Amino acid sequence: MIRLLPAAGRAAVAWKNGGGVTREIAAWPPGAGMDDFVWRVSLAEVGADGPFSAFAEADRTLTVVEGAGMDLTVGGERRILDTRLVPQDFPGDVPTDCRLLDGPVVNFNVMWRRGLEPAPAVAVVRGRVPFALRPGTAMLVLALDAPAEVSGMHLEPYDAALLTDGGTVLHAAGAAAVVRLPTPPPPADA
């Protein structure tokens, strides 16, 4: 099954700490809030220096998709994120401060509760990429800087597709993010 998750219509929601806005692409369970998601995928707009929101017992992968990048201090350790389209992993529950390098940025975020198996995995790819889903996983594809096509579905930049079974081929004219996500087990009576 494949579901289109169009960029148009995603609501901008203020960060938990009020320092920016996020646009949720998908979350599990459906309708989960900032404090009770199992995993969450979003795009965040960072327009000013300041702290990141903390998420208890969560890990995250952040990918800068627009802008010059950020100088982060994560749990007292400095990390320069000045290369676009390179996923970076760090804990989501330690104090994280951000200083923008040269103006606003847009980040692609994948967050999940620590201990989730299999843990989500993020890759940025280009071109023709075949993939098959393993049992218990889903795949989210997000077109980044150019259109993409997956399972015959056309994606404009920031459109996403969520695949929950089977295999497919991704044709990405530019960069696309591919995220492996765990799916819940089927009901016992299914």
Question: CATH code at 173?
Answer: 2.60.120.10
State the Cα–Cα distance between residues 153 and 16, nearest whole angstrom: 34
Q: What is the DSSP string of 76-116?
A: TEEEEE-STT--EEEESSS-EEEEESSS-EEEEEEEEETT-
Q: What is the pLDDT of residues 146-166, one digit of tens each?
A: 999 998 999 999 999 999 888
Residue 142 lies in a domain: yes
Residue 1 lies in a domain: no
State the Cα–Cα distance between residues 20 and 139, nearest whole angstrom: 27
- The three-class DSSP label of residue 17 is coil
Same domain assignment for residues 103 and 127 = no
Residue 139 lies in a domain: yes
Same domain assignment for residues 107 and 156 = no
Same domain assignment for residues 29 and 99 = yes
Residue 16's Cβ-count burial label (10 Å; 0-12, 13-18, 19+) is middle
Same domain assignment for residues 17 and 109 = yes
Q: What is the pLDDT of residues 49-89, one digit of tens each?
A: 999 988 999 999 999 999 999 999 999 999 999 999 999 99
Same domain assignment for residues 82 and 148 = no
User: For residue 190, is pLDDT > 70?
Assistant: no
**What's the predicted TM-score (pTM) here?**
0.92
Contact of 115 with 96, CB cutoff 8 Å: no
Same domain assignment for residues 33 and 68 = yes
Banded model confidence at residue 184, pLDDT cuts 50, 70, 90: low
Q: What is the pLDDT of residues 95-131, one digit of tens each?
A: 999 999 999 999 999 999 999 988 999 999 999 999 8
Same domain assignment for residues 23 and 107 = yes
Contact of 55 with 96, CB cutoff 8 Å: no
Host domain of residue 28: 10-113
Same domain assignment for residues 105 and 155 = no
User: For residue 176, is pLDDT > 60?
Assistant: yes
- Total number of domains in the chain: 2
Q: In whole numbers, what is the pLDDT of the chain averaged over residues?
A: 92
Residue 189 lies in a domain: no
